[in-house]
Structure 1
Amino acid sequence: MNDREQYTPGPANGARVQKDGEKWTLVLVRELRHSPEKVWKALTEPEHLREWAPFDADRSLGTAGTTVQLTTVGAPTTMVSETKVTRADAPKVLEYSWGGQDIRWELEASGGGTRLTLWHNIDRRFISWGAAGWHLCFDVLDRFLTGEPIGRIVGPEAMKFDGWQRLTTEYAKQFGVEPPGWSPMAAKP
C-alpha cells in the first residue's frame, strides 16, 4: 500500500465563513512546518502548483501585474481562466482571481513554520465543497513540502476520495449550511 492509499484527511477544522450580504468568503487557516519562502514557491511556481493545486498555471503567479492562464485539473469540463495577479508581496501576500472568484493568500512566519491563510469567495451553495477540496489540497501541499508527495487530489477524483463526504458534511455543519446534493457518481461519463 502506498502513502496515497493510506492517506485519510483529518477532521474539518481551521475554517470559517465571512458573509458580506450575498457574498460569502471561505477562510481556511493551516499551520505548516515550512518557511514562508518555501510555501510561497509552492503557491506561485507552476512546477510546484502541479503537485497539489486544483489548477495548473502557465507561468509564475509571483509577480503583481502578470497575466496567467489557470486551467482546472480533473474537472469534467476543462475551464481555462485568464487572471491578473493583483498583489504579490513575497513571501507574505498573494492575490488574484480564479474563475471570477477572488483568492487571497497570507503567509505569516509562525513557530519556525508558516501560518497559511486562504480567503476564497465562493457561492454559498458550494462553500462546504470548497472547504473540503481546499482541506485535501492543503494536506497534499504539506506532504509535498515535506518531501513525501502523494499527488494531487482534486475535482471529481477528490469527491470520490475516502473522507470527502465526511469533510463536506462536517464543514456544512460548522458553517450552518446544507451540503450540496450532488453525487460524485454524477461526474462519471
Structure 2
Amino acid sequence: MSSRSNYKPGPATGATVDKQGDTWTLVLVRELRHTPKQVWEALTDPTNLREWAPFDADRNMGTVGKVTLSTVGTPTPQASETEVTCAQAPHLLQYRWGDNEMRWQLEPYGTGTRLTLWHSIDRRYIAMGAAGWHICIDVLDRLLGEQPLGRIVGAEAMKHDWLRLNTEYAKQFGMEPQKWPPTSGT
C-alpha cells in the first residue's frame, strides 16, 4: 500500500528535449498500466485533475473550447484563460497553459498506455518542468491504481525529491540546474 509520507520518485528517466533554435520542448514518455480511456479521464476531468495536476480546470477538457486553468501550489495563484485546441478521446489532447503549448498523446501499450507529453517551456526551466511532471505523473499513476497520494506540487514537491530530480534532469539535458527559488537576473 502506497502512502504519501514514504513516496519517493524513481530516477530521472523518460525525458528528452527537442531543441528548435530558441524554442525548447520537453518530451516526457511514460508507460502506465492503465487503459487509454482511464488515462484520458484523468487528463480531462476536473475532479481527477485536482488529485494530480499542477492546475485546476473550470470544466472538463475533453472537448475543444475555452477553459480556465488555475495554478495550485504556487505563492501567487494564476488563472489562465485558454483553449483546448484538439480533443480526440482517448488519443490526443492539446491546449495552451499560459504561454506554453501542451500536447498529450495516449497510445495503447500492452494492456496499458504509453503516455507522451510535449510541453514547450522556457529552456531555463525545462529541467524543473521535467522534475515536476515526473512527480505529477507518478501521482496520476497511483491515482488510477487506486492508491491515491493526493496532489504533490509546488512546495510540497520539495519534500519528495524534486530538487534531486531537477538536478538529474538538468545533467541529462546538458545544462546547469536552475537554482530554486530562482534568483533575479538569471
TM-score interval, smaller chain: over 0.9
Structure 2 counterpart of 1:5: 5
Structure 2 counterpart of 1:118: 117
Shift of 1:181: 1.5
- The DSSP-based 3-state class of the residue aligned with 2:115 is strand
Alpha-carbon distance in structure 1 between the residues aligned to 2:180 and 2:97: 22
TM-score (norm 1): 0.94
Structure 2 counterpart of 1:34: 34
Structure 1 counterpart of 2:83: 84
Structure 1 counterpart of 2:52: 52
Matches within 5 A, 1:151-170: 151-158=150-157, 160-170=158-168
The root-mean-square deviation of aligned C-alpha atoms, in Å, is: 1.5
Tell me the matched-pair count: 183
- The DSSP-based 3-state class of the residue aligned with 1:12 is coil
Shift of 1:109: 0.2
Alpha-carbon distance in structure 2 between the residues aligned to 1:85 and 1:162: 31
Shift of 1:182: 2.2
Alpha-carbon distance in structure 1 between the residues aligned to 2:175 and 2:151: 27
Structure 1 counterpart of 2:20: 20
Q: Which runs of 4+ in 1 moved over 3 A?
A: none
Structure 2's unaligned 5+ residue stretches are: none
Alpha-carbon distance in structure 1 between the residues aligned to 2:86 and 2:69: 16
Alpha-carbon distance in structure 1 between the residues aligned to 2:133 and 2:180: 18
One-letter code aligned to 2:171: K
One-letter code aligned to 1:166: R
Alpha-carbon distance in structure 2 between the residues aligned to 1:111 and 1:76: 41
One-letter code aligned to 2:36: P
- The DSSP-based 3-state class of the residue aligned with 2:47 is helix
Alpha-carbon distance in structure 2 between the residues aligned to 1:172 and 1:25: 14
Alpha-carbon distance in structure 2 between the residues aligned to 1:122 and 1:35: 28
Alpha-carbon distance in structure 1 between the residues aligned to 2:101 and 2:129: 13
Shift of 1:162: 3.0
For structure 1, which segment, 174-183 or 108-117, has the greater mean C-alpha deviation from structure 2 after superposition? 174-183
Identity of aligned residues (%): 63
Structure 1's unaligned 5+ residue stretches are: none
- The DSSP-based 3-state class of the residue aligned with 2:60 is coil
Structure 1 counterpart of 2:170: 172
Shift of 1:183: 3.6
Alpha-carbon distance in structure 1 between the residues aligned to 2:154 and 2:19: 25
**CA-to-aligned-CA distance 1:2-57 (integer Å, 9 cap, x gap):** 70011100000000000111000000001000000010000001001001000000
**CA-to-aligned-CA distance 1:50-84 (integer Å, 9 cap, x gap):** 010000000011012x1111000110011100111
- The DSSP-based 3-state class of the residue aligned with 1:140 is helix
Alpha-carbon distance in structure 2 between the residues aligned to 1:100 and 1:129: 16
Alpha-carbon distance in structure 2 between the residues aligned to 1:119 and 1:111: 22
